[in-house]
Amino acid sequence: MNTIDYEKLAELLFPNVTQTVDDMEKLYPPRNLPEGAIVSRLAPSPTGFVHLGNIMQGLTSERLAHQSGGVLYLRVEDTDAKREVAGASEMLIEMLSHYGIIFDEGAALDENGNICDKGAYGPYKQSQRAFIYHVYAKKLVREGKAYPCFCTEEELEQFHAEQEAEKANFGYYGKWAKWRDRPIEDIEAEIAKGNKWVLRFRSTGSIEHKFKYNDLIKGEVDITENDIDHVLLKSDGIPTYHFAHAVDDHLMRTTHVVRGDEWLASLPFHIQLFQALGHKLPKYVHIGTLMKMDGTSKRKLSKRKDPELALSYYKSEGYPTESVVEYILTILNSNFEDWRRANPTAPLDDFKFSAKKMNAAGSLFDIAKLSDVSKNIISRMSADKVYDEVAAWAKEFDAEFYAEFTRDPEYTKAALSIGRGGNKPRKDFALWSEVKGYMGFFYDKYYDVNGIYPENFDADTIRSALRKYLKVYDPKDEQTVWFDKIKDVAEELGFARETKEYKTNPDAYRGHVGDISSFIRVAVTGKQNSPDMFSVMQVLGEDKVKERIEKQIERLRG
């Protein structure tokens, strides 16, 4: 074929495409940003499953873009209609904003919760960008860099079988690239018959050629040229990921592509495609797969086996978003934890995120570590903040607890204030769903009347301790007096006033003051573990404390 034929072919395949590449370039001009500003994006497919990978990529792009004074945008990659789930894009946007990933532009939600475009580089849903891809497809055909292929599924399967038998590489290349150099008459004949075609890239690469490429995380990687004539447009005119990537990231003026490293294998093709289109290659940040320990070996987190892969899991379990974000940052940047230790209360924005500090191999996800991080973060929150967060979580996920928790906000906040503030705040819970177990006893509904007492004491002993205590209990006592009274009860019943005394001479006592405290604790809270008893009793108030102890005396009568 000569150049004229390519022109003709381009018209034959895309008769309705009248706009040119220049028109597109004018429509989406380079961004006017300062030197060094990064333009990055999150480009998820709306499959209805939002996962940790999305947030890892989202946070990485977000930090790189915003810390450089650049732009972060969201592009919805909905070119695979088979995988698309209704409402998935909306859910994606909501979930990402829940985790504080705010996009400057891209697909967004309007005030009615419907998807809309925000920004000058849209549409941001790939399904609405067919007219753009076709302009570039036509250009490639005109330049002899792409051609239509009419192979049927059966033929492609046949090639695959032959390649298997010949132990050849799989794919559409060499003698199997049946439509690569066909005369235009053959193509016209197929089109006249109404046969479907896909548009293929005419690769000029060779697997004999290797070169080096510098990935921002992986460093220098060895690349073997691509020799496959991959599909650019499917038979319905919708682009493959590869082609859409090379067009969209160029036109949207992306400088940094942050994506999962499952795309590393396609990089040779992408580099080729950008070159063929005359587009500047963006920088790539390929994030390693998230792994977890399974026994003694590592494996990929799996959608089927690991509920913690889904972001919805953290929301329904009630992990504070701050905790998830903080933990993800510890995974993403190796120096984050040291920074956090040195700056325990600094806002996350103060941390200088860097692609260089990212782990080239897959990172390990450890949910126990996330819980530790979360306990720390919650311990530093104010009671008001914890109240608001728990209320919002419970409203959605535990309506019964919500009713109790919010009935008297001042009471609940007083309960939440125990052990909060000061240099060593208590680290009692890591997620909002643990709050009920921790402080539910403040509400009668969750107070366990059948609380279990320390097992080495009989009911009579416990009952007399409670009776004696009830006689001396005075809510107006300050803490030392309050504790002295418990010691008095201990002494009267032949228990040591101090644990130390008991330890040096255990045979001389029936127990020690800690045991008496335990009896009171179980009576008042229904549990052997609780926040500071003095404060608990103050929040519960005189009536409730007396009522519960009396009930227990009754119960222990047997």
Q: Which residues bind ligand GLU (CB under 6 A)?
A: 43-45, 77, 241, 245, 257, 259-260
Give least dist CB 432 to ligand GLU, A: 30
CB 164 within 8 A of CB 115: no
CB 141 within 8 A of CB 147: yes
33 phi/psi in degrees, rounded to 5: -125, 155
Give the 3-state DSSP-derived string for 351-366, with helices as H, strands as E and coil as C.
CCCCHHHCCCCCCECC
**Structure-token pair, residue 325:** 């974000």
527 phi/psi in degrees, rounded to 5: -140, 155
239 phi/psi in degrees, rounded to 5: -75, 160
Q: Which of 239, 255, 259, 235 is nearest to 247 (CA)?
A: 239
Q: Write 504-513 long-range contacts (CB < 8 A, 24+).
A: 510/461, 511/456, 511/457, 513/486, 513/487
The secondary element (H helix, E strand) that includes residue 268 is helix 267-277
Nearer to ligand GLU, 44 or 511 (CB): 44
> Residue 168 burial by CB count (10 A; 0-12/13-18/19+): exposed, middle or buried?
middle
**Structure-token pair, residue 260:** 């999962």
Angle at 423 between CA 419 and CA 429, to 5 degrees: 45
Break the chain down into helix, strand, coil percent, rounded to 5: 50, 10, 35
Give least dist CB 96 to ligand GLU, A: 13
Place of tokens 């008769």: 15
Give least dist CB 342 to ligand GLU, A: 33
Nearer to ligand GLU, 241 or 457 (CB): 241
Residues, the chain, total?
A: 558
Give least dist CB 120 to ligand GLU, A: 21
55 phi/psi in degrees, rounded to 5: -75, -35
Give least dist CB 49 to ligand GLU, A: 11
174 phi/psi in degrees, rounded to 5: 50, -135
Sign, CA dihedral 347-352-357-359, equals positive
Nearer to ligand GLU, 332 or 486 (CB): 332
Please report how many Cα atoms fall inside a 13 Å half-sphere around the Cα of residue 153, on the Cβ side. 2
Q: Parallel, antiparallel, or unpaired: how do β-strands 146-149 and 115-118 relate?
A: unpaired
Q: How many CB atoms lie within 10 A of CB 417?
A: 17
User: Considering just the CA atoms, what is the radius of gyration of the chain in Å?
Assistant: 33
Place of tokens 């984050």: 336
Nearer to ligand GLU, 125 or 138 (CB): 125
**Structure-token pair, residue 275:** 């070159």
Distance between CA atoms of residues 340 and 356, nearest Å: 18
Distances 506 to 321, 483, 496, 501 between C-alpha atoms, Å? 49, 21, 9, 8
Distance between CA atoms of residues 356 and 218, nearest Å: 9
Q: Which residues of 538-552 are buried (b: 16+ CB within 10 A; e: fewer)?
A: bbbeeeebeebbeeb
